Every structure is written in structure tokens, then in C-alpha cells.
Amino acid sequence: MSTTSRPGTHVLTVHLAKFGRSRLVPITLSTTQALCDYRAGLAATSDSAMFLCPAGHRVRYPKFNVAFGGLLDDAGITTAAGKRPRAHDARHSFAVRTLTGWYRQGLDVHALLPRLSTYLGHVEPSSTYWYLTATPELMALAADRLEAHTHGEAR
């Protein structure tokens, strides 16, 4: 992973991710700064991975899950059902929050869905639908848009 920044734009580049594909992910200024601070605090290493274990090697997914679970335990974080969130749940939250934001802004969600798919590293939007959870807010915004559309109103 690497970060680049241009005025008003912050992008995280994920190199050779799932299925060997790379992708660009827009991130906030605060996320860019946090990642830069993290990297600055690491010992010099020849490994180009963003997340490294104390020995300086890239963190493998199974080890990451163990560490993530430990952090959640230390912080006392659980869901309402008493289960721990998974790191992968962040992808679901990101997808839903992105769609919700687009609806709030009055944007063409259908036209933007391929962009969300790209952010998540999917080739087709059909792969992205699995990440969309029917939250009350998202469903209300979609219903409002549908109602406005069926009544001939532009939104």
C-alpha cells in the first residue's frame, strides 16, 4: 500500500490485492496523516507492505485477525449480539456509508455503483451487492428517491 496526495485528493493504492489486482481507494486527510505517522514510526525495512509485524515482516491475514480480535477485546468492543466485529465488517460499513452519502447528496447512485465496486476491488457491481446491508437510513433514502421518481419529481 502507498498513499499519494494532491490538493483535495488523498488516495490509498492497494498493490496486488485479492486475485492479484491493484486498486485506488480515496481516503480522508486524517487517514492519510495517520498512515504517514504510522509508517514514520516503523523501523527501516526493505518490505514495502504497509502493515508490518514487530520483526519487520508483512502481517499475514490470519495473524492480523488474531491481533484485531485482541485489540477489540482490550477495548471491550462487541456487537449488540455479544459477538466481536470482524475486520472485514469495515468493508460492509464503508459500502453502506458510501451509498448513504451519495443518496444524501442527491447523486446518481446507479451511475456511481461501478465506482464503489472499484473502491472495494470488485470487477462487477454484482459482487458489491453482497456488501450492502439494508440499514433503516439507507432504505429510507432509497425509498424517498423512488417515491420522488415515481411521482415525476427530480431529486
105: pLDDT strictly greater than 90:
yes
Q: Which residues share a beta bridge with 11?
A: 4, 26
Confidence check: pLDDT of 51 > 60: yes
On whether residue 125 sits in a domain, the answer given is yes
Angle between helical axes of 89-104 and 136-150 (0-180°, round to 10): 30
- Report the pLDDT value the prediction gives residue 68, as an integer from 0 to 100: 86
Please report whether residue 105 resides in a domain: yes
In a domain, residue 48? The reply is no
Which range marks the domain in which residue 141 is found?
A: 89-150
The answer on pLDDT for 46 being more than 70 is: no
pLDDT value at 70 more than 90: no
Residue 139 lies in a domain: yes
Mean pLDDT across 38-50: 72
- For 13, the grid coordinates are 493504492
Give a yes or no: residue 111 inside a domain.
Answer: yes
What pLDDT does 155 receive? 46
Domain check: are 64 and 19 in the same one? no
Q: How far apart are CA 12 and CA 1, in angstroms?
A: 7
104 falls within a domain: yes
Asked if residues 113 and 126 have their Cβ atoms less than 8 Å apart, the reply is no
What's the total number of domains in the chain? 3
